[in-house]
A and B are shown apart, each in its own frame.
Chain A
Amino acid sequence: MTDCATYAPMLTARAGELTREEESRLHAHLAGCGACQARLADERAVDGMLADALSRAAARRDFSEFSTQVMARLPASAWKPDPADRGDPGAEPSGPLGRLRAWARHHKLAAALAALAPAAAAVALFLWLERADPSALGGMPGVEVSSETLAPIVLDTSDGPMILFDGDGEGT
């Protein structure tokens, strides 16, 4: 019992944590003590379990608000304003160029859609023409003219219909 009371606490020491003397005495005791061999086996069997359990408990928790809550508790004076206006959506950009950049950032999607609008209109028209009955589009052979409310001119070329828009609707 007295020997076990001395050596059992050393069983979970990591490499280098015991003195050489402690280590050799522990090995000598362990060689002749079934109870301490069993204790060592128990320690090895449960090794890592506690760290696993606590990590799992942390992993189960929703941390999406954690850093925001921490940052909210820190004084705003600790932080330098970011010149690129990143991470501080409330800041007003300065100068006309800054305002334009800010607008562009906020309206990236709208700007992209606006840029695509004419192309989208052309594709829509193309699809509409594809489905339309060619005989309804009178005109010269090779060049078929369609007149719609927007009065576009459609040239039926060997590469497919080519659409020309005519501003006043009178054709070209």
Chain B
Amino acid sequence: MRGSRPIRRCRPTLAYAAVAAAVLVASACGARGGSGGGGESGVADVDPGAGGASGSTVTVLAAASLTEPLTALARGYEADHPGVQVRLSFGSSTTLARQVAEGAPADIVALAGSTALAKLPPDAAQDGGRATIARNAMEIATPADNPGRITALEDLSRPGLDVVLCAATVPCGAAADAVLSRAGVTPNVVSREVDVKATLAKVRLGEADAAVVYHSDVVSAGDAVHGVAIPAARNTTLDYPMLWLNRAEHTVGFAELVGSREGVTALTAAGFLAP
């Protein structure tokens, strides 16, 4: 009994050692393969030196509300410049600005409203440039069949309605709060979503009776939602600043396209106001 014990104890150790060795070999192989693969597939994410503007890739971080027009412009730019890739990433302007400040690689940043600009490093655009590409106004979105029968801003305070807004920390939420408080309307807010597309999604799915979003989102959603206009006197507009962070050929090329007549046409067709 006693004699067999040390041998028994030894066995698992050997087994562990074998497993550890196997894992080590596997991880070493994995690391080699991984870094090669990562370098290729994740250029825009991890390797600003190799990817980004110096090569044929332009990385654009943009406010969620710009999704449709910028995607269309990017595909057009790629078609006109074979081999060039425009990588787009959309999110709340606040999140994007924070990510850029934390070192996320980007060539162009387009934000909703100028508040989020403060989160960017002050010298972010010193090697590039900046322009206002569009403006946007707020609008009420309801599901296509408008189950809450909303026809004006005041209707939002009707009890029993479920209203969804953007979080107060992101531009669309701050703008919605401004419009509502100026009008003295206190809706039954059931959720504050992380960005404008998430807010609109709750209306598209029919989970909420209304949301206060950008006019452009109502336009881009088409028949999926019903828009209720907010009169200009009670509305608020946001500027959309665009910053390009370097002067690489295609960074400037794509920025110029967005600012061009063609870009303005695409933006206004998507429901934005001309800058």
Query: Do A and B make up one complex?
Result: no
Residues in A lying within 8 Å of B, measured CB to CB: none
